[in-house]
A = this chain, B = another copy of it.
Amino acid sequence: MEIRHLQSFIALAEEGQFTAAARKLNIVQSGLSVTIKEMEQELGVQLVNRATRNLSLTHGGELFLEYARSSLATLNEVRLLASPTGFEPVLSP
């Protein structure tokens, strides 16, 4: 699982629809469909209840949504705090 796939899942949860989420993510619907399936495989947890026009999160999906959001938020903090503030000089080789 790629970290960017957390974004994919968040988008799906927010849009409530593969097609719309994929559009938002600038990827194609089929790709998102496969990606979410693979995430479910890797986690061993079903994330969404699929119905052609009614998508909902499972209990696991809700949990994972929280995880994905806080994980990405923390990652952004790391990015921000680590480099410009902490001023790590690049080692000259």
Contacts and interface: CB of A to CB of B under 8 A. Distances in A.
Secondary structure at chain A's binding surface: helix, strand, loop or mixed?
helix
Nearest to A44: B83
Nearest to A5: B3
Interface of A: 1-3, 43-46, 49-50, 58-60, 63-64, 67, 70-71, 74-75, 77-79, 81-83, 86, 88, 90-91
B70 A82 contact: no
Contacts of A46: 83, 88, 90-91
Copies held by the complex: 2
Contacts of A74: 67, 70-71
A90 B50 CA distance: 11
B45 A59 contact: no
A82 B43 CA distance: 9
